[in-house]
Amino acid sequence: MLEIAGIRRGSQYSPNHVGNDAAIFNLTVEHLKRKGCQVKEYTEQTFLKSDIKESIIFDMVRDKDAIRKLQQEEENGKLVINSGYGIDNCTREKMTRLLVTNGIPHPKSLIVRTCDPLPVSIEFLAKRYWIKRGDFHAIHREDVTYTRNIEEAESVLNEYALRGIETAVLNEHLVGDLVKFYGVAGSDFFYWFYPNDLNHSKFGWEKINGQAIGIPFDLEQLKSICDEVAKVLGIYIYGGDCVVEANGDIKIIDFNDWPSFAPCRSEAAPYIAQCIYDWAIVHTRHQHRIFHDR
């Protein structure tokens, strides 16, 4: 029997999605148990205080100290899905650098210090910008802000500096259909939808792009891009957003480690559990080989 630790996301890191995040976690546990796994559940806080004996961990962690502990567990040879390093890569500044460096289709972007004047190079962006805190995931509505000119952008950056946020990412605003997606790397599961069609929103940002008009795009290309992003960031269970421009070009604007899967959790959970189970089998066999080689 596989013994697995599962770590829930702290409610403070599930803005407007506490129930949804709990639901996908619960379903994943249920499907793992159906496979004969024994799952011991932790909250982020109990995880920080506990000595985890299980060598296989799946998690929805967002607390910075918990992420660091996950990384330590990985360094000690444990299997962690999603990886603490992958979760850290999904913070805005690191994600932007990795996507741009690896040639992932992405809006024109700048990484700036919030206490410094905006650089002249901001002119290469469009007149409208999205400003996003660089150091962490968005947990407050103000952590991502839409601005229509440089003056508004400077005001937002000043407010970030007052909040102790040292860096921010500026993305050009893209015009086109906003598409939200969920996936499990290495599987056939991939789900997409127009968020305004389902009134699906965390902070209401989706209203900026307005109602999708159904611009044709290559779904296989989108899935391929997402699988590549998951590989670049080092995560298996993911979700995010892209914009399909008028010519059908796809650009990734956000990518998240283990989102809520709210519109498709029943369909997604078996694939998530299978992903964890398959890697757990590989990890266990590897550990057995190491033991016998000694």
* 106 neighbors 99 (Cβ within 8 angstroms): yes
| 256 prior amide bond cis, ω within 30 | no
Same fold, 3-82+264-293 and 177-257: no
pLDDT of 280 reads: 96
CATH of domain 3-82+264-293: 3.40.50.2300
- Flag residues of the chain having pLDDT under 70: 14-16, 120-126, 138-140, 198-206, 287-294
Give 177-257's CATH code, choosing from 3.30.70.1140, 3.30.470.20, 3.40.50.300, 3.40.50.1970: 3.30.470.20
This prediction's pTM: 0.90
Query: What tens digit of pLDDT does each residue of 223-282 get?
Result: 999 999 999 999 999 999 999 999 999 999 999 999 999 999 999 999 999 999 999 999
Architecture of domain 108-172: 2-Layer Sandwich (3.30)
Q: For the chain, how far is it from start to end, CA to CA, in angstroms?
A: 23
Residue 180: strand pairing partners: 193, 241
Neighbouring residues of 223: CB distance < 8 A, sequence distance ≥ 6: 183, 190
Burial 209-240 (b: 16+ CB within 10 A, else e): beebeeeebeeeebbebbbbbbebbbbbbbbb
Residue ranges covered by each domain of the chain: 3-82+264-293, 108-172, 177-257
What are the Cα distances from residue 65, in Å, to 62, 159, 207, 263?
A: 9, 25, 34, 30
